[in-house]
Chains A and B, each alone.
Chain A
Amino acid sequence: MLLALAAVPVLIAVAVRLSSSPPEPGRGPPFLDRVTQNGLFVSITALVVCIPLFLPLTVGVVAGDTIAGEANLGTLRYLLVVPAGRVRLLLVKFAGAAAFCLAATLTVVASGALIGAALFPVGPVTLLSGDTISVGESILRSLLVAGYVTVSLLGLSAIGLFISTLTVVPVGAMAATIVLSVVAQVLGALPQFEWLHPWLFSHYWLDFADLLRQPIAWTSFGDNALLQAGYAAVFGALAYGRFVTKDILS
């Protein structure tokens, strides 16, 4: 899965490199036009492309598999008989899913930076505000963005964890999690549900760009972290309630 994620920036970079005319500003995914000028933008463009579907997809697979996958293999009962402890198992599984979110995001960012550096010139990076920062600081910003995206995915991970405790069919849990992430984004795009928007876990997903302003706009980072923490707490508690009372019959 990480390999597939790593392939996205490569695909973007190669496509831009091979196309005869450079992308026009304002067309295609944001930042695409900057790629030819500065390879470091491949990471950011790739993230923009991955966030709506590809990252939630992989996170859904991983989070949906956490408990249901173990139950399906029959390993869950052995872990519990060890005893691994149900709460501890949930925490470890959530930590694992969170680690995957980080790994997935870093994979996209790192692979984007590498392929970008290989195919395009690298130099000082222009921020959204028009200010320019050094390559070193831009790497720092990329890591910040990776952190932001990782945090963004934690709510979805918690939802996946909860769904995963409901079933012994991992594919069902994965599908349900992914479907939810799509539904959240669809709702987020409908003005009729405006009152709901700030409550959707996908609400701040694309606002990582606020880290690319000068000075950094931290508000969305804080709001996002708070929202994701709320989701993690609610669905973590639900997963706890479900899992500690669950009969392990698989």
Chain B
Amino acid sequence: MTRVYLRWVPAAVVTAVITAGALAVPLQAGASVDLPDKTPQEVLELIGDSTKDSLSGTIEQTSNLGLPDLSAGGSAGGSAGGDEAASALELLTGDHTARVYVDGHDKKRVQVMDRMAERDLIINGYDVWLWDSKENTATHVAVPPHDKGDFPKPGDTPTPAELAEKFLEAVDPATEVTVDDDTEVAGRTAYDLVLTPRSSEDTLVGSVSIAVDSETGLPLRVQVTAQGETEPAFLLEFTELSLETPDADIFEFEPPPGATVKEKELPEHPSKDGKTDGDHDDFPGEVSGSGWDTVIELPAGSAPAELTESPMFAQATEAVDEGAVLSTTLLNILITDDGRVYVGSVPVERLQSAAAGG
């Protein structure tokens, strides 16, 4: 009887509506936005004029570097070991969600939300705390008064603004700056500034696009696309953003009872903006080249033996004359047999020649 089929109609309709709704939501997020046109220079100025320095929000980082997923070992239940380099690598390659709270220049809290665990960086004036819930350790770093400002932490997920600043610093004649279609990030309208290396031979980077909040000039999203790819290899964006000043007690941190508390001395020569993605750094490395084809050299012994000797390392890398190469879509890393490390968004040959030259 036809009645029988009619009874299935609600099921079909509900399923259809929900599927359609679920598919439509992401589409809607990308719905077209139309802002008054701005030239690249105007957008750059918008960023430069940005005074917004208190906010709270959620940042998502996705990396699609073509590396084995190292984050799997570090999530729920597994042991990541205490190795900072591994942890930094994990932060760089995995997908992460972090909440950031910023109030002025001397109060900041970043919460990297791992599954069942959390890593925190809390900056409150001269006190800097690093907290790792999995290891149950709190590390305190006292910042001397003259070193006010962002404190670098290896493996800290930077905000899109910090990352954007770094890319913008590198804007030079070798970079073509354009403005793409207006977009929407974290519910805010934004200009999409695109930086493209003029020469595609010296670097692996295809383009960097920075979504800039149309109202405040705050960078909301940074996407790095590798040469010849269409999907971004690296994405850092706000998924939620509030421009209100966060509660002061968010920046209060007391090591919880039972936690291991460590005191750490500040490194001797903190650089002005020690970011951690490996290209600008606060450790004694050498930087050669500039802009897109920068190569960083770390001295012998930088690659820990347990890393280079682990079977996973052998699996992930490719042997070359000088040592082993870890290739990703955005970044090549050459680890020489004597433990020097060369990193750059450049073809492997350039790293090899840098290694030979050094």
Contact = CB atoms under 8 A, between A and B. Distances in A.
A55 B169 CA distance: 53
Given A26-B135, A126-B256, A233-B14, A206 B76 contact: yes
A31 B76 CA distance: 11
B8 A245 contact: yes
Contacts of B15: 234, 237-238
A130 B131 contact: yes
Interface stretch (B111-119, B177-185, B272-280): B111-119
A245 B135 contact: no
A132 B7 contact: no
A206 B115 contact: yes
A20 B65 CA distance: 44
A123 interface: yes
A132 B99 contact: no
Nearest to B64: A194
B8 A130 contact: no
Contacts, number: 105
Contacts of A129: 111, 118, 120, 131, 133
Interface residues of A, number: 42
A83 interface: no
Interface residues of B, number: 44
Contacts of B255: 130
Instruction: Give the secondary structure class of B's interface.
Output: mixed
B355 interface: no
Nearest to A215: B250
Contact of A245 (B4, B77, B99, B254): B4
Given A129-B133, A233-B14, A30 B257 contact: no
Contacts of B10: 237, 240-241
Contacts of A34: 136, 258
Identify the interface centre among B8, B12, B72: most chain A CB within 10 Å of its CB.
Answer: B8
16 contacts: A27-B79, A30-B77, A31-B116, A33-B136, A37-B258, A124-B257, A129-B111, A129-B131, A130-B129, A206-B76, A210-B113, A213-B111, A214-B250, A217-B58, A242-B11, A245-B4
